[in-house]
Amino acid sequence: MLTVFCTQCGKEMPDNARFCGACGAEFSDRGEERPAVAEDSGPPSDPDEETKVFVGRNADYYLRKWGKSVVPEKAISWNWAAFFLAFFWLGYRKQYGVIFFIVGLWLAIDVVDLTADLELNDSSVGMALSMGFGLGGNALYYKYANKQIGKINRDFPDRPAKLKALADKGGTSRGGVFLSIGLVVAYVVIYFFILFPILGKTEVEFGRSVSDGIIGERTSVFNERDSIHYMFEFPGSGGDVEVVLESRGGSVNGVVERWPLDVPSDWPGVSHNFGAPEAGEYILKVFKGDRVISKGEFTVKN
């Protein structure tokens, strides 16, 4: 009696089946049937077969891409799915370790960015990440697949058990996509409700008037003797603050003036005004304790 396994996904099939009930592959050639072998028969002689079973869906695509280089783990080749879906493609291909690494890296970068006030452009970082996955996704997936196949070869000397393990460990996962979505949501929550309120800064808005707490005639260029209206929002909770006006002339900023503002703790932001100083370039900083929570720059002309 023959034990038949699907060459695409490795699932055991009835010996008279024409189609795989798991992945739908057609068995037009009964030569694809493979007799059961003894446990001491060793690994399959065809590494591509193992890879096809592990990769599952679109296995021919990846084999074709990897086959174009003698070192596929370092080769650059384009992958549209990895480019457009990036993070979610990783989950779909069960590369969960990479997902957690990237989320941790994002949070570390955010901490450095907010602490050092680097003002990194999030859209540029996102585009760089997408380009990196588009160009290196195939190589990244090759290294992951190769590592997992090697481990399964060591752990499962029996061929049927090996094929089943390859199919179970590899393939694609809709659950992995939802895991990726959940981690993205968790990252957003951590950033906006923990990191930004503790470390973040908002931008001071300047204008020539204010109405209902909204700056009107927005500008960052004023004339001497103008009334400069400004508004800022708290990155976290409100409270009493100190506003410091510094000149930007020379290599070191010099304090021109400072004044306190008594603010209720439940206020989300503040609007205020002051008379324009003499001509020059200035930076306005809002301190809550020893921490700058908001800042903005403006120019005064003669």
CA pair distance 23, 283, nearest whole angstrom: 63
Q: How are beta strands 241-247 and 280-288 bridged, if at all?
A: antiparallel
- CA–centroid distance for 76 within its chain: 21
For residues 286 and 209, the answer to whether their CB atoms sit within 8 Å is no
Cα first-last separation, the chain: 98
pLDDT of residue 40: 44
Instruction: Please provide residue 157's backbone torsions phi and psi, each rounded to the nearest 5 degrees.
Output: -70, -25
Residue ranges in the chain modelled with pLDDT below 50: 1, 29-45
For residues 233 and 243, the answer to whether their CB atoms sit within 8 Å is no
pLDDT of residue 125: 82
pLDDT of residue 45: 43
At 63-86, the pLDDT tens digits run 999 999 999 999 999 999 999 999
pLDDT of residue 37: 40
pLDDT of residue 31: 43
- Please tell us whether the domain made up of 202-301 is placed in CATH 2.60.40.1930: yes
pLDDT of residue 33: 41
Nearest to 191 by CA among 117, 265, 108, 128: 108
Structure token pair of residue 75:
């080769």
The ranges assigned to domains in the chain are: 1-36, 45-199, 202-301
